Chains A and B, each alone.
Chain A
């Protein structure tokens, strides 16, 4: 068996998700079956890391049009490589780009594609299908499915833990094969014309604490205490879709299925009921504190901690308590005015 793993990399450093893809390729195909596919400049620098990950061969896709990512040129190139190698399967990390690339390649090669798998079984050989489980709705629901195709194309849901392949300790030279796709001169594709980094600082995706508000916060101004508490604990402000739709917060603050999925140490949900589409965005938090007037709200019953009450009463008191303690621990006393 041969199973290809797509390796996304930054100048020769593979992403964690790509190493998961390599591990799954090796697991499904058996020892010596995993081969890596990488695009772009610096791909050859991957060799040492891929050897220890148990990869048997590295395919590097080279073409003038492949130096920078483009969904159509990369997808077409992968489809051509798959057409030439006819592997048993192709595995990629289920990142935005990974899913886009795989869907492009599958569509062009006329193959099915299973996105965001959480488990894969290559079967015994008697059944041509691979049995897999894929995440729907951001992981709230699992779909068990059979994938039948001459080449099985799949991606792995973010955060799936796979036992890594037995590390091949010998540092043999990893064979590299260069593949140059044919891209017609009139090929219609999208090219990157601009890239910009976000301003640095605490972001919703990486903040250790997220103070989030929903309908119960009632207005844009109502978010003031949430911002104050977030600032106090070095966190970020989040929100539910109701807050976004009412124009109280920008969509970049939205937590959930169609917002950002986060995993902070603590998620403080203020006036948020806990609809599935919101829950899927915060369920990976290590701890959840719900502040809600309704003791029966799903967010309250699923949270680690809960306070029953009005956000606008509870938060100012919490902020005062935190400030008091911060003052006490640094030896400062609140000013006597």
Chain B
């Protein structure tokens, strides 16, 4: 199984989201960066699959040069190869991101070997466009299921069984390979990087791919925070002595 996992560098925002003065972006001056939880699960799953079935894990990202940090993080979890598409500091729209990833995957596959599986996070943690993986899959004519929380491989039959939540239950899709899958947190419990993994990732050589991009049809004019209904917190007390005040509130709210 040769698997390509697409990840995105996103800010790890704290208790409030601050915006830049022009309102176009999240102010990241005091923030660390991460890949989203869905994508952490995607990397973990790919590493587990390759450990069980053999093959390789390639991690691919489109973003600023600093996204190298996220590629190295994925390598520290056990991915074999990191590929950066340097698209500069500006946020890409969903069509651009998908186009960048598609072009890069075509280049990586130009040697003739195809990926058996493309893995994506279900939606990016910051822009939440809910479509990048689907666009890449369509461009590459691959079947694609999203929101997946369980992957079972039948290598002999050349199929995947993909479980996801559905209204009031679960549903399982059977998909021919090669395929694309967008996964959701809950798929597995991602490991923490080992010391050995970190060292290996630090020293690894990353590949770069260049692409041509045209703007898509959705143009951001700006970001803003929706109005919050700021209410004063009612302090019910400190420690166990507050229990009666809590019970009063539970009664008032009609929950007991």
Residues of A within 8 A of B (CB): 70-72, 75, 96, 99-100, 102-104, 106-108, 111-116, 129, 131, 135-149, 155, 188-198, 208-209, 232-235, 241, 244-245, 247, 250-252, 254, 257-259, 265-266, 273-277, 279, 286-287, 289-290, 298, 300-310, 313-314, 316-318, 320-322, 325-326
Contact = CB atoms under 8 A, between A and B. Distances in A.
A52 B165 CA distance: 33
Contacts of B38: 258
A148 B216 CA distance: 9
A108 B235 contact: no
Contacts of A233: 250, 255-256
A257 B233 contact: no
Interface of B: 13-17, 26, 36-38, 93-95, 98, 123, 125-131, 134-135, 137-139, 141-147, 149, 161-162, 164-166, 168-176, 179, 184-186, 189-190, 216-226, 231, 233-247, 249-251, 253-256
A286 B252 CA distance: 13
Contacts of A197: 168-169
A188 B176 contact: yes
B172 A71 contact: no
Contacts of B220: 143-145
B169 A257 contact: no
Contact of A103 (B131, B168, B236): B131
Contacts, number: 263
B185 to A, nearest CB: 4
A99 B182 CA distance: 13
A140 B225 contact: yes
B15 A273 contact: yes
A305 B134 contact: no
10 residue pairs, one from A and one from B, having the closest CB atoms: A112-B217, A251-B186, A317-B240, A103-B131, A317-B243, A298-B15, A107-B138, A194-B172, A309-B239, A197-B169
A276 B171 contact: no
A112 B246 contact: no
B74 to A, nearest CB: 17
17 contacts: A96-B165, A103-B130, A107-B139, A115-B131, A142-B226, A189-B143, A190-B179, A191-B174, A195-B166, A195-B172, A258-B37, A258-B38, A289-B246, A304-B231, A305-B246, A307-B242, A307-B245
Contacts of B173: 70, 190-193
A144 B125 CA distance: 18
A25 B227 CA distance: 26
A99 B147 CA distance: 11
Given A113-B131, A188-B141, A321-B247, A145 B219 contact: yes
A263 to B, nearest CB: 14
Contacts of B244: 321
A190 B238 contact: no
Given A148-B219, A275-B15, A309-B240, A196 B170 contact: yes
Given A197-B169, A232-B256, A314 B239 contact: yes
A139 B171 CA distance: 27
B247 A276 contact: no
A258 B166 contact: no
A276 B253 contact: no
B143 A190 contact: yes
A310 to B, nearest CB: 7
Choose among A245, A254, A298 the residue with the greatest number of B CB atoms under 10 Å from its CB: A245
A137 B125 contact: yes
A276 B13 contact: yes
Contact of B224 (A144, A193, A277): A144
B243 A320 contact: yes
Contacts of A146: 218-219, 221
Contacts of A298: 15-16
A75 B94 CA distance: 18
Contacts of B226: 139-142
Contacts of B184: 258
A113 B94 contact: yes
Contact of A309 (B14, B142, B144, B242): B242
A250 B125 CA distance: 21
Nearest to B226: A142
Contacts of A245: 189-190
Contact of B240 (A115, A273, A316): A316
A306 B235 CA distance: 5
A194 B165 CA distance: 12
A322 B143 CA distance: 53
A182 B239 CA distance: 67
A252 B130 CA distance: 21
A120 to B, nearest CB: 13
Contacts of A265: 253-255
